[in-house]
Amino acid sequence: MPILDLHELFFPPLRPLTHEIVTLWYRAPEILLGSQTYAPPVDMWSCGTIMAEIATKTPLFPSDSEVDQLFRIFRQFGTPDEEVWPGVTNLPDWNPSFPQWPRLKISCAVQVLDSSGLDLLEKLMLYDPKDRISARRALNHYYFDSIDKDSL
């Protein structure tokens, strides 16, 4: 019987995968820009889009193509650059002629969340995957303070 590698169990290896790993509306910008590595921050982005959809009862970025999806994200969070996301211009599908949109407040798109919900949502949807909140840290976010975690 093979011995389980606990590190692999909790930190799955980064593997090259197809860019169609997640339903388009929930796909992280790094995947849309051609990254072929799937890592946990991709899932955290998806959690953010789902959290917004549950709160508003409507998808945050309902698009019909990858370019439309990317531009909807850019219209909300601003067109990324090397300052907010180091390495973004080196991604395979980055285009220096992308339209330049300013960042909007997430509260404009998701008006029903309180300040703690908006804070968590912003941390789930940071451009740089290295800066995105992890699942463990998200569960410990003050947004969930009212939940009796001992009864879970």
pTM: 0.84
C-alpha span between 52 and 65 (Å, rounded): 20
For the chain (length 152 residues), average pLDDT per consecutive 10?
43 52 87 91 97 98 96 98 98 98 97 97 98 96 87 71
Taking the mean position of all CA atoms in its chain, how far away is CA 38? 12
SS3 of 2-26: the string is: CCCCHHHHHCCCCEECCCCCCCHHH
Handedness of CA 135, 141, 147, 151 (dihedral sign): positive
Helical residues (DSSP H) of the chain, grouped into ranges? 6-10, 29-32, 40-56, 66-77, 106-109, 115-124, 135-139
Describe the crossing of helices 40-56 and 115-124 by its angle, rounded to 10 degrees: 150
**What pLDDT is stored for residue 37 in this prediction?**
82
Structure confidence at residue 150 (pLDDT): 75
Q: Write down the pLDDT at residue 4.
A: 41
Could you give the 3-state DSSP secondary structure of residue 37?
strand
What CATH code is assigned to 14-88+97-146? 1.10.510.10
Residue 57 tokens read as 């009862």
The number of beta carbons lying within 10 Å of the beta carbon of residue 44 is 21
**C-alpha distances in Å from residue 17, one per residue of 7, 22, 26, 31, 44:** 21, 11, 16, 10, 17
